[in-house]
Structure 1
Amino acid sequence: MDWQNQWNERGATYAKAINDMLAFADVHGWEAWQGPDAQDDRQDFAPQVLERLREANLHGTTSALREQLPPSFAPFAQLAHERGQYVGQLVALDNDRLVFMVGAPYEPRQAYLLQDGMCQPLSREWLAVGKAKRGTVIAVADPLAITLRDGWNGPILNTLPYATDPAAGITHLFPFNAGDAALVVSAAGIDLLTPQTAVRLLPVADGDGDEGLTGLIDMENADLSHDNRLICAGSQSSDHLLFGADGTRLGRIGPQSEYPHFCLFSTNDSLLLSNSCHFYNGVSIAVNVTDPASVNIAPYQEPGSDPGVRLIDPAMRVYGGVSFSGGVILGDAHGYLRAYDWQGQALWRHYLGGTISGMALSPDEQRLWVGTYAGTLHQLALGQGQDAHTIGNGDHKEEHRWLFWKGESSVLKW
């Protein structure tokens, strides 16, 4: 048997073994599993597959290569660790186009436009990109200011001066639906900006919930509600704090693990997902925020002790997520996507590999883009049928993946 057939047969066998293990654990728990651990032993084939991938990109035959050699992460795990990089700040312009950043906030970055299956580099001056939760407003940060436009390459609505040196790196950028303000998240602080004003949300030197920090913050995270009425912001040394659209402090959510790490509003803004982490594990809860001023969730609550709190996931350190009409999709440190409804019922899981760094969902909720710290961008057609090499139970088809690996002469499409 030649190595290509071995790649396919061993890959399908490995995926089936993992899926069987996960299905067993769903019913019986991991402590009851007594079978062997599945192993992907195709690492020796990785150099040959990579060379074939380079050739296919050079000659425009990537679709044929994908049929011949279905993608996998495990054989390339070491290469991804050595040469991968952050792919995030994913912005779905419509059902078919995506804008995103390659490079961590503290590194030189490159913005790309994904269109017609091709990744086109954009200006090297871009530091961050974001899109309004509703409407067409696009925000682009460069070294001088944040520019808000009405649509992709549309007319300028506003220009926002910085309150914090952008050299610190912008982690997330959330423009308001009206194009008159933006929420800017960085290690130097979380700021609410308008053309005339700047409100510092975190850190603040009042000793209330953030231990009086005034320097750089870690694990900075935030989200803006779809109607722009609420902001959630947190860091390693704070609770998850709720603010009004003008920056007025309203409520707080204490961590149910150790450190607030990620937050996300439901599509109707009635619930907020609050994730806190400890090492590479964590706890995610959903909190009713319809009356934000009354939200005061104590840390480390027993499940079910507060009627306004629901346990969504008991294990993930969440690095990225999106809300959708039926719930929430979360990505973790181990390369898994997991979807839940807002009652905490698991809907599906899908494995990509690498730590998840960001997601974007198309407006019609049929396509999901996922970035990872392993230097990969994945495009999934949701519910369109998985192949024999897929680890997961969501019936999702990966249409393409792109490798942004340091040392390669070009982006590699697979």
Structure 2
Amino acid sequence: MNTAQQTSIVPHILFGMFILELIFLMVKKVNLTFYGPFDLFEKLFPIIAIGLLVTTIRPRLNYQWWAALGFYIGYLLYGIAISLANQKGMKIILVQLYHELKFFPMVMLFAVARCDEIWTSRTIKVIKPLIFLCILLIIFQAGAPGAYDALFKSGGHFEPGHLGGRLVPRFVGWFWHPGQSALFFTIAAVLISVEYHRGHIRFGHSLVFLCIVFVFCAIQRLELMLLFMALLALKVQRIFNFDYRFILSLIVFAFFTWLIGYLSWDKNNVWHVLENFESPRVIFLVESVFVLFESDFLGGGWGTIGSHAAADVAKVYEYNAMKDLWWIKLGQYFYDTYWPHVIGETGLPGYFLLLLSMTFMVCALKRPEASLLLFLLLLTSALSSNAQSLYHLTIFGWFITLLESDANGWRRDAPEPEPVLNS
């Protein structure tokens, strides 16, 4: 495929995936039954990503990308090897291999694909009416909560948020879940801020303010903190002409190294975490660390704890120590985490192979703003399943494509002019 074909075809496909994910949210919000066919189609995204990656990957990738690719292949090979060593069936290995192939191919495809400036304009044109729809839906939810809940009975907004010692409703607008809304508007604020200072859009400050309001309304404290941190990073970059990609990669490596070091150093630390932060996600994390200890830090193989293969193929929660938990009996939270399956199933070798791959990926991106988005995705994956969520991989990925595709270098050699607003 030549460059012209890539320019005309690949962005259309990636933008289509982005739009479909936004549509899927509303379908899921209205009725989970209708969402089934969309969910099946969404499962093709990693396969599409691998196919497109073959056509868009460039032979002269920087060494960080080659290092990231090498460590990720090492992670996959170790996962297969430790699974075979623990006598896991081939079906378990193949099912989990599919899910492991979500993260790296999706992120790398969006990172190396390039598009014209018009795709950024089209994305902004999607964000603006989405903001308007969110305002209308939030007013609807606040004014008629009963009618709203009846209309969107499958929505993920029903769990209230904690604010000032009180339980308050979460307002998610168009989105299915508060976390989806908060992270979307976090990264949308980054893109809007960048485009405003390039002089490509008007009312940038107002749009960023609305993004902050939406994150606050979702009652997602972590995302709100990350949003302000991201805006501060952009400000520092503009004022000091500063490249923070290497610093972000060091933070990722240091944070996840500290996390596994704290948990694996002493079992008492694990019990302390469980006693103070009891939740389904924490229980999965604790159980995975116990598997880590039992396997002499080598991992129990795919299909042991926390993975799709463990729940869907091996069905380990029907007979292991977690079988009597109420949310296990209801079939909930099986896929609500990411790192527990890495810790328990691939042990320390797999954990650090994957972590090193992610660390180099943050450095491999050419623009600090794109590295910032990947940094946010990785950091939030510590407490969620974002790194294996096709929604998050697609949304973050498309915004990374837009930022990486800017033909102008990000460094400012002369004083930055005032934004010139396009009509």
- Answer whether TM exceeds 0.5 for this pair: no
TM-score (norm 1): 0.26
TM-score (norm 2): 0.25
Q: Which has the higher helix share?
A: 2
Q: Which has the higher strand share?
A: 1
More contact order relative to length (CA 8 Å, sep ≥ 6):
2
